[in-house]
Amino acid sequence: MKTKKVTIHTLDSMKKRGEKITMLTAYDATFAQLLDESQIDLLLVGDSLGMVVQGHETTLPVTLEDIIYHCRAVARGTQRAHIVGDMPFMSYQSSIQEAMANAGRLVKEGGAHSVKLEGGAQHADLVAQLVSAGIPVMGHIGLTPQSVHTMGGFKVQGRGDGEAEQLLQDALTLQEAGAYSLVLEGIPSVIAKTISETLDIPTIGIGAGPDCDGQVLVIYDLLGMNDSFKPRFVRRYEHLATRIRTAVDAYAADVKNGAFPSEQESFFMDKAQRPKSANASVSAIALAGGCGPGPLSEVSPEASPNVSEAPFSVESSMYSTVHKPKP
């Protein structure tokens, strides 16, 4: 199992030896930890969260504060993977000075290791200045979702006259400006193959065929969490939408018919502690500090034979989570 932190130099070495690079989106600490433990190389805190988390039709409403918030969460769940923070719409297009400040916030406040921005040669000067300031930059060309209105929708790019040549020129210009990697989205695979073979920096494809140096998917798409979203470029490795509904239906049924919680999922007091009247019950509960962790958490398994371990322990309490976030 790999334990060494992934850096931009790691990715460069992977391209040179022909090892494929894996990238997935992550928006919270729990998913970040799971993906990190699965040895995913890059975690993208993408503005796709606007669609899959916030419920918007496009990525355009996502703010810099949104990305910073989710970057912080992902950083707390990550030990090994390289974290890429997306530059949201209008966080870098107005001026180089504003873009520099916003990218700095993603790294300084959000904990991102690098930033990603959409667009080609028009952003070369910005890329160069960011890299000069110590902020690694991942480029993104082809289908750029922040330009959805300009493109007339989420459409495959590179099929028109001169578009393939322009994509290659954009890729070369961004590489020369100092970008360490490049996302190729929604372009014919033959163009992606040419770009990947021409560039020295690694390419990460999404809807760009098998010949890129790596691949990225939105984690919710990979897990099949939206039955109605079935783009050609997505392979579903699970069908969690169905499994989640099944689990929730079972939970709701158990609550309705009284099957949950059972004795095994309840807490008890020994006979000496049991109140003898209604007033005494109120006093006992008050002294116990209510229903949260407190004196009740000191009840031993021996005093409560149906409880396998002390209630509200770190690993098993209702207040614990799958991950153990960093301080």
Q: 118 catalytic, yes or no?
A: no
Where does residue 110 rank: exposed (0-12), middle (13-18), buried (19+ CB within 10 A)?
A: buried
Which residue type occupies 141? I
Query: Alpha helices of 178-277 — where are they, by DSSP H?
Result: 189-198, 219-222, 240-256
Q: Which of 19, 57, 65, 185 is catalytic?
A: 185
The b/e string for 282-304 (b: 16+ C-beta within 10 A; e otherwise) is eeeeeebeeeeeeebeebeeeeb
Element (H, E) at 112: none
243: which strand partners? Answer: none
Beta strands in the chain (DSSP E): 21-25, 42-45, 82-86, 114-116, 137-142, 181-185, 203-206, 214-217
| Strand locations in 148-304 (E) | 181-185, 203-206, 214-217
Q: How many Cα neighbours within 13 Å face the side chain of 289?
A: 7
CA distance 229 to 210: 22
Question: Would you name the residues annotated as active-site residues?
Answer: 185
